[in-house]
């Protein structure tokens, strides 16, 4: 019997709550519906607690490392448009330790999904160069200044790199990933259980 797939959601100081918790609930519901994966919240360093953008405090399951046995990594956004370089996605996009870990995981075969301005973190890691991508609408101009190919869609699937628009789009992206990996029936069961009507605005080449 094979081991379950492993999915990590990055929880860093100042992350946007719904960017991470929305997908977390989708993925855990998918487990209940039959998806064979584990779901963990991962801090950027070993710590007992991480404080999100609106002061929600979470206890991570572990810390992100480049040699982790992850099949999927979710990178939320948070605070990008505040311009604060000391916390949130802007700080994360300048953290070479985290960027190196993201690059290493991707190089080792992990599919990476960003939510909202988490796309700017993937861009800083070099994962969006020449790829279709989207981010929160208020950060689209920033993304257009990079080598990413900005797409008008709620979810963009480029195989091993996926991006979602702002905040609640993370739920749509998570449901899309569930459907892509585990099938329509499980995705529908999750959507139904959560009483959520997801967007079908998915760009996929």
1 catalytic residue (yes or no): no
Distances (CA, A) of 126 to 120, 131, 136: 10, 10, 18
Task: Please tell me which residue in 110, 116, 127, 153 is annotated as part of the active site.
Answer: 116
Beta strand segments in 17-173, E:
37-43, 50-51, 57-58, 62-63, 72-75, 111-115, 132-133, 149-150, 155-157, 161-164
Overall size of the chain counted in residues = 205
For residues 187 and 201, what is the distance between their CA atoms, to the nearest angstrom?
A: 16
For residues 54 and 152, what is the distance between their CA atoms, to the nearest angstrom?
A: 28
For residues 186 and 24, what is the distance between their CA atoms, to the nearest angstrom?
A: 15
**Catalytic positions, written as ranges:** 116
């Amino acid at each position: 019997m094979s081991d379950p797939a492993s999915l990590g959601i990055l929880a860093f100081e100042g992350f946007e709550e719904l960017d991470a918790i929305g997908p977390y609930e989708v993925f855990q519901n998918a487990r209940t519906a039959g998806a064979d994966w584990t779901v963990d919240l991962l801090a950027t360093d070993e710590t007992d607690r991480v404080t999100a953008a609106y002061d929600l405090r979470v206890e991570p399951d572990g810390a992100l490392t480049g040699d982790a046995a992850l099949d999927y990594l979710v990178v939320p956004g948070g605070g990008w448009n505040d311009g604060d370089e000391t916390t949130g996605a802007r700080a994360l996009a300048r953290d070479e330790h985290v960027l190196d870990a993201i690059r290493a995981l991707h190089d080792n075969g992990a599919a990476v999904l960003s939510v909202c301005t988490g796309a700017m973190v993937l861009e800083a890691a070099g994962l969006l160069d020449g790829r279709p991508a989207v981010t929160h609408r208020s950060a689209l101009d920033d993304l257009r200044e990079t080598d990413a190919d900005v797409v008008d869609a709620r979810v963009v699937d480029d195989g091993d790199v996926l991006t979602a628009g702002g905040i609640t789009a993370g739920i749509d992206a998570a449901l899309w990933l569930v459907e892509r990996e585990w099938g329509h029936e499980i995705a529908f069961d999750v959507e139904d259980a959560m009483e959520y009507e997801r967007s079908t605005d998915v760009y996929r080449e």
